[in-house]
Chain A
Amino acid sequence: MDSRPDDSRRRFMKGAMWVISASTLGTGVMMAPTANAAPSLTEYKPVFFTPDEWAFVLAACERLIPADETGPSALDANVPIFIDRQMLGDFGQASDWYMKGPFMEGPAELGFQSPLTPAQTYQKGIAATNTYCRQTFSKSFAELSPEQQDQLLTQLQHNELKFDGVSAKQFFDFLLQNTKEGYFADPIHGGNKNMEPWKMIGFPGARASYLEWAELHNVKYPMGPVSLNGDRG
């Protein structure tokens, strides 16, 4: 039998270390493995986005999952940090996707056909949206009122704005998808700070063991969440 190289595990360890080192980079402090280890958004220095882009991401996330009494906002949950980290990873770089040409447009049902990676889509989408905002309102997206921002996001979502070289809808779809991912993915990925979004909905995270609970019907599960690195909420 051929010997098995322990590649996948090593890569996972490397991946996990990368997550920690990236946040260490961002905050400039060593991370302690405690529940309060999540970096603060205001001190975080993005590794991918430029300051202009970062201002857009912060503003857009705030509108997609706003602050109110229901539960944490996207900013409370560090969603922008999650998105920033995704950009240099496999998702942002479309490493797993088939990105060979020719690129042709087709019916929507045939799916994603863009030559742009998600990271490039963000860059072009943010630039195009800010250009549009500056031309129309003499302000960047981040400087608009919340109502104006909501309206613009709706226009992007419905593909009502036509940009050169990037689809407004594709850009919005990535942004919304990643915002929800950052809100609900395990905190190891940078968002879901202190598992507050999980607590809001009642998801117990990585517990993954419920045998004795299966037959307790119509009873609310009582335990709080656990994250992959052992934090408890």
Chain B
Amino acid sequence: MARQEKPVDVVLVGLGWTNSIMGMELAQEGLNVLALERGEDRDTVPDFAYPKMADELTYGVRYKLMAKPAKSTITVRHSLTETALPYRHLGSFLPGDGVGGAGTHWNGHTWRPMPEELRLRSYVEETFGKDIIPADMTIQDFGVSYDELEPHFDFFDKVMGVSGKAGNVNGEIHEGGNPFEGRRSSEYPLPPLKRTFNDELFTNVAKEHGLHPFPLPSSNASEAYTNPYGMQLGPCNFCGFCERYGCLNFSKASPQTCILGALKQHKNFSYRANSEVLKVELADDKKTAKGVTYIDKNGEEVFQPAKIVIVGTFAYNNVRLLLLSGIGQPYDPVTNTGTVGRNYAYQMMGGATLFFKDKFFNPFIGAGSNATTVDDYAINQIDFAKEGFIGGSYLLAAQTNGQPIRSMPLPAGTPSWGAGWKKATKDYYGHSMSISSHGSNMSYRDCYLSLDPNYTDDHGLPLLRLTFDWKDNDIRMTQFMKGKVEALAKGLNPDHLNISFKDFGAKYDVRPYQTTHNVGGAIMGTNPKTSVLNRYQQSWDVHNVFVLGSSSFPQNLQYNPTMLVGGLAYWTAKAIREQYLKQPGPLVQA
């Protein structure tokens, strides 16, 4: 028999960005809120203190802050007919673990979605006609509009202290920002970060090509800042140990630096680290949840009763927890029935490295989101009918770190070892910059998540199985970007140029890092037949369960997800505070 804990109003499963936001909002409401986090407790001091963080091997290469596949991983296959094999060590994506989640070791690229991306199917159908959407492409609308989310984006900008330059303030286009972005109700809270040499070169060449370069919106603070919760950030010092590391300087926006310090002051909020939730427990009628069962730090099974359960365990973990708990109907790609697991999508990336023998970039002078970008090839700028694909990318010249084990680009053809390799590291370290594309990924009928029939975790529960591969539509998109990136790169006349973009026939490869922007599987929408959650991220089936994170996205944005993930969390919090607490029940009638 599981030990039973004292009931709470709200139990938060996971304590990353989403549930830190939810914790703050619901604690402010006066509810008794408890967070359960599977990993250890973490804070700037002592866990990220200098010089400990400046250790590439431990954090950058051995992934000290990330999820340990030994405890929790997924299996992967390319198609329905294959046997999936475990993702045995990290590579392609780096899920978080511990208080703060992946928000402690993210880069801080802080993009809002485009208004068109939130209603992608409608936008494509209205603009280009239904016929251009391939039969097996399952893109959908989110069911919530940009205008509805804008106040929440604006607030999350202020919570994180985003540094940037707005391009569209209340419909007025501002020079030096992104002219293609959705309407913003205010300028960024902080000015852009200082510009490094690669920024200067990219800005010049982009302007020569008639493009509109602007500083990447960045959650690495450019100046000292106090956010609406009273949390203080210090100016980022370009330490060069940012993504994959906790910030040693209180500069990178993270749950710790922006929310948790203030949230922990609330007496009605508490959290337990090293507490892994195995299941959301349902009442007999399966219409409500009673609480959750978790394994505590001593390995004991505990039942935690709660009136509301908020699942915020990161994209695909959310899907697994729903499947293990019997919430919603599992998706079956063959019969095209069920919803849980449907519409998994990832991100389509490509890039160029430019080598200049006589230029000094000092790549160790970097911040996680130190970059200049263009959005001229964004989703709302491309004629999909003409180009033959649906999607878009932003292009960026970033300088995030010069850590020499991982960040040692060398001209193509350089030997991988021996005297030639060593000479190349000496000749080329610090003499290169990159231009890359960061793009959307559409969803498809046969790209989905389900429970694996062969592999289990250390509790004997099935691992989650990912069935995913690249599709021609998205390859056409990235090949289009290749042409654009190549032209810009050549415009800078490098001594050597490496170009790497996926081509037709490319298989999804779990080995090289790509992004931790896994999305879908527990998507939001307007129809319970094709979505797991309603427009408030509330389960259609179990009304006191809300599911937060990028699992809600019906397809992937061309951007990094966290602004939308956070904006949606605030949107859901508002719905709970203003509607659900007054009248618990489905917020949308099916």
Q: Find out whether the CB atom of A109 lies under 8 angstroms from the CB atom of B507.
A: yes
Partner of A203, one of B86, B239, B360, B402: B402
Q: Find out whether the CB atom of A185 lies under 8 angstroms from the CB atom of B56.
A: yes
Q: What is the bound-complex CA distance between A153 and B53, given in angstroms?
A: 35
Stretch from B42-50, B125-133, B148-156, B487-495 that touches the partner: B42-50
In whole Å, how far is B419's beta carbon from the nearest beta carbon of chain A? 5
In whole Å, how far is A72's beta carbon from the nearest beta carbon of chain B? 9
Residues of chain B having any CB pair with chain A under 8 Å: 40-42, 46-47, 50-57, 61-63, 68-70, 73, 76-78, 82-83, 85-89, 91, 193-197, 200, 235-241, 248, 264, 269-273, 359-360, 362, 364-365, 370, 402-405, 408, 416-419, 421-423, 425-426, 429-430, 454-456, 507-511
Q: Find out whether the CB atom of A185 lies under 8 angstroms from the CB atom of B57.
A: yes
Q: What is the bound-complex CA distance between A66 and B196, given in angstroms?
A: 35
In whole Å, how far is B399's beta carbon from the nearest beta carbon of chain A? 9
Q: Find out whether the CB atom of B404 lies under 8 angstroms from the CB atom of A99.
A: no
Q: Find out whether the CB atom of A221 lies under 8 angstroms from the CB atom of B365.
A: yes
Partner of B417, one of A65, A71, A107: A65
Partner of A65, one of B40, B52, B85, B421: B421
Given contacts A4-B41, A70-B419, A219-B362, could you give 14 more A-B pairs where the C-beta distance is less than 8 Å? Answer: A9-B47, A90-B62, A94-B70, A100-B86, A107-B507, A109-B78, A186-B57, A198-B404, A201-B430, A208-B239, A210-B365, A215-B194, A217-B196, A220-B362
Q: Find out whether the CB atom of B429 lies under 8 angstroms from the CB atom of A203.
A: yes
Q: Does A95 contact B (CB under 8 A)?
A: yes
Partner of A202, one of B40, B54, B429: B429
Nearest CB to that of A100 among chain B residues?
B455
Residue-wise interface mask of A (134-155) relative to B, using a CB-CB cutoff of 8 A (1 in contact, 0 not): 0000000000000000100100
Q: Given that A70-B419, A205-B54, A208-B50 are contacting pairs, would A98 and B430 also be in contact in the complex, using a CB cutoff of 8 Å?
A: no
Q: Find out whether the CB atom of A111 lies under 8 angstroms from the CB atom of B70.
A: no
Q: How many A residues touch the partner, as a band?
A: 35 or more
Partner of B85, one of A97, A106, A176, A201: A106
Q: What is the bound-complex CA distance between A95 and B77, given in angstroms?
A: 24
In whole Å, how far is B69's beta carbon from the nearest beta carbon of chain A? 4
Find residues 164-188 in chain A having any chain B CB closer than 8 Å to their own CB. 176, 179-181, 184-186, 188
Q: What is the bound-complex CA distance between A95 and B235, given in angstroms?
A: 37
Q: What is the bound-complex CA distance between A94 and B77, given in angstroms?
A: 23
Q: What is the bound-complex CA distance between A12 and B40, given in angstroms?
A: 14
Q: Find out whether the CB atom of A203 lies under 8 angstroms from the CB atom of B364.
A: yes
Q: Find out whether the CB atom of A181 lies under 8 angstroms from the CB atom of B405.
A: yes
Q: Find out whether the CB atom of A184 lies under 8 angstroms from the CB atom of B55.
A: no
Please give, as numbers and ranges, the residues of chain A lying within 8 Å of B510 by CB-CB distance: 109-111
Q: Find out whether the CB atom of A66 lies under 8 angstroms from the CB atom of B419.
A: yes
Q: What is the bound-complex CA distance between A56 and B193, given in angstroms?
A: 49
In whole Å, how far is B276's beta carbon from the nearest beta carbon of chain A? 15
Please give, as numbers and ranges, the residues of chain B lying within 8 Å of A153 by CB-CB distance: 417
